[in-house]
Chains A and B, each alone.
Chain A
Amino acid sequence: MSGRARPPGEPRRIGYLYVLPALVVYALFLLWPLVHGAYLSLFHWDGLTLGTWAGLGNYTQAFSDPSLRGSFWHAFVLLFFYAVLPCCIAFVLVSVMSRSRPRGMTFFRTVLFLPQVVAMVAVAVAWQWIYSDHGPVNGTLRFVGLGGLTRGWLGDFGWALPSVGLIGTWVEIGLAMVLFLAGVQKIPVELYEAARIDGAGAVREFFAVTLPGLRRELAVALTLTTVAALRNFDLIYLTTNGGPGDATKVPAYEVYDRAFNTGEVGLACAIGITIAIVVFILTAGITRVVEGRS
C-alpha cells in the first residue's frame, strides 16, 4: 500500500470516466474555438482567401484605429450605465431601507429581477417603442411643455449611446437591488441598534454598518454588471446596429461587424480575445478591490 489511507472503496480513477463526456464537448466547442480564435487573431484574413501573418498587428490596430478606439471608449461609457449607475442607485436605496424588514419581499424581488430573464430581443422591441418619435419619452416631454427636446432618441448622434446605456441600467438595476436586499437582511439588526445608541446618524450608519456588511454583495453585483456591459452585442445589434454612424459601436458589435460585414476576420478575433481578457482582468480585479484581499 502506498500513499494516504483512503476510505475503503473510495473511487479514484473512475473519476476520469465521469468527467470525460463533459470534457470532450467542452474542449471541442468552447476551448478549441478560444484557442483557434487566438490563433486567427494573429493573421490578416478575409475569411475566404489565404491569410497572411500579422503578428500582433491586429491588436495594435484595435487600439490605434480611431473607430475601434471609439468603440472601446463607448464600452467604457456603457460601463457607467450598466454597472456603476445601477449599483450606486441600488446601494443607496437599499441602505435607506436597511432598517426595516418589509413584508411582501418575495413579490418585490420577483418583479425587480424580471428584466434579467426576458429575452434581449423583446427588451429591444419594447425600448425602441419607448424611445420612438411618438413613444412615452417624447410624449412625457410634450406633456410637460418641453416639446422642443423631443427627438428619435436612438437615432440621435449625441443621445443614442446614453439612451442605449439607460436600457442597460434598467436591466441591471433589479439584479443589484435583489443582491443588496438579500445581503442587508443578513446584517444583524443589533448592529443598527448599537449604532443608534452610539448616536450615529444615517450617514455614519451607512459607512459603519451597511457598507462593510454588503461588501461581498457589492463585489458580486459589480462583477455581474460589468461583464454584462462588455457582452452587450444583442442590445446594440437589435436597437441601433452601431449607429447612427459609429455612435453606438462597441467591441462586442465590432467582432460581428468586422468578421461578417467588412471581412476582417483576424481583426474580429483579436477584438474578441481582447474582450475576453478584459472580462477576466476586471472580474479578478473587482473581487480583490471590493473584498480588500490581496
Chain B
Amino acid sequence: MTSRNERLATYGVLSLFTVVAVFPLLAVAAQALGLPHLSFGAFTEAWRQGHFARYLTNSLIVVTVVVVVASALSILAGYALGTMEFRGSTALFYLFLLGLMVPTEAIVIPLYFDLRSAGLDNTLPGLMLPQIAQSVSFGVFWMRAYFRSAPRSLIEAARIDGASSWTTLRRVLVPVGRPAILTMVLLIAMWTWNEFLLALVIVNSDEGRRTAPLGLSIFQGQHQTEYQLLMAGALIVATPVVIVYVFLQRHFIAGMLSGAVKE
C-alpha cells in the first residue's frame, strides 16, 4: 500500500501545480476588482470605455447561431455516418475528419478574399459560417462516435415498431444522447466565444461587429500599461466560459481530450 510520505508528496505536487495554474487568473480577478478593497471602479470604467456591452452582445449572437446550426448539422450527418450503410460513407467521414487537422492559419487568408468578394466581410454571417464549418468537423466526428456506440437494439426496436429513420433519430437517439450532445454544444460554444484570428481578419474594420476577444485586444492597444483596466476587460471576456466550465468540467475535459482520438 502507499505510504504516508508518498501520499504527502502527491498532494504537494498537485497543490504546487494547482497554484501555478490559478495564480495568473487570480491575479487578473484580484486586480480587476481592486482587492482587497473590493471596488468595481475599474470594472465599470473598462465596461464603458471598452464598449463591452456591444462586443459581448455580438459574441453572444455569434455563439448562439454557430452552436445551434453546427449542432443540428452535426447530429444529422453523424447519425447517417454512424448508423447507415451507404456508398462513400467512410470516405465522407474522413473528409470531415480532415477539418480537425486544418489550422485556421491555413484557410484564413483565402477565406478573407472569398468572403470579401461575396460581400460577407465585416458581417456577422461572414464570421459565423467559417466557424460553423470548423465546428461541424468536430461535431460530425463526435456525434458519429455516439451514434455508433448507441445500442443497436434500440435502433432496431424503433424500426420494428415502424419508425422512420427521422423518427428514430428524434424520438429515440437524440433524447438518449443528451450527454454527448451537451458536450458538443459546450465545446463549440467555448471555441466560438474564444475565437480570435477569424474575428480579427473578418470583422476588424467594423467596430460595431467586433466580438469580445477582439474588443479586448483593441482595448489592450489603447491602454498599454493600465493593467487594472486591462485586467477588468480580461475578466469580462473570460468569465462566461469559466463559469460554465466550473459546473460542467467533465464535459469539457472529455471532449477536448478526444480531439486526438483515432478510429
A contacts, CB < 8 Å to B: 6-19, 21-23, 25-26, 28-34, 36-37, 40, 47, 93, 96-97, 99-102, 106, 108-130, 132, 136, 170, 173-175, 177-179, 182, 219-220, 223-224, 227, 230-231, 233-234, 237-238, 251-252, 255-256, 259-260, 265, 268-269, 271-273, 275-276, 279-280, 283, 287
Q: Is the CB of B137 within 8 A of A14?
A: no
| CA distance in complex: A231, B101 (Å) | 11
Q: Is the CB of B130 within 8 A of A280?
A: no
Say yes or no for B81: interface residue by CB 8 A criterion.
Answer: yes
Tell which of B28, B227, B261 touches A132, judged by Cβ atoms closer than 8 Å: B227
CB-defined contacts of B108 to chain A, threshold 8 Å: 33, 255-256, 272
Contact with A along B174-190 (1 / 0, CB 8 A): 00000000000000001
CB-defined contacts of A110 to chain B, threshold 8 Å: 245-246, 249
Q: A11-B165, A110-B246, A129-B27 known; A252 and B105 CB under 8 Å?
A: yes
Min C-beta distance of A259 to chain B, whole Å:
5
Say yes or no for B20: interface residue by CB 8 A criterion.
Answer: yes
**Chain B interface bracket (under 10, 10 to 19, 20 to 34, 35 or more):** 35 or more
Give the total number of A-B pairs whose CB atoms are below 8 A apart: 297
| CA distance in complex: A112, B24 (Å) | 13
CB-defined contacts of A93 to chain B, threshold 8 Å: 13, 17
Q: Is the interface of A mostly helix, strand, loop or mixed?
A: helix
Q: A11-B84, A100-B7, A238-B217 known; A112 and B107 CB under 8 Å?
A: no
Q: Is the CB of A234 within 8 A of B197?
A: yes
B contacts, CB < 8 Å to A: 2, 6-7, 9-11, 13-14, 17-18, 20-22, 24-25, 27-28, 31, 69, 73-74, 76-77, 79-81, 84-86, 89, 92, 95-96, 98-99, 101-114, 129-130, 132-134, 136-137, 139-140, 156, 159, 165, 190, 193-194, 196-197, 200-201, 212-213, 216-217, 220, 225, 227, 230-231, 233-235, 237-238, 241-242, 245-246, 249, 252-253, 256-257, 259-262
CB-defined contacts of A224 to chain B, threshold 8 Å: 257, 259-260
Min C-beta distance of B191 to chain A, whole Å:
10
CB-defined contacts of B2 to chain A, threshold 8 Å: 99-101
Tell which of B10, B81, B246 touches A102, judged by Cβ atoms closer than 8 Å: B10
Q: Is the CB of B105 within 8 A of A272?
A: yes
Q: A114-B242, A125-B234, A275-B105 known; A220 and B86 CB under 8 Å?
A: no
Q: A21-B73, A36-B110 known; A126 and B234 CB under 8 Å?
A: yes
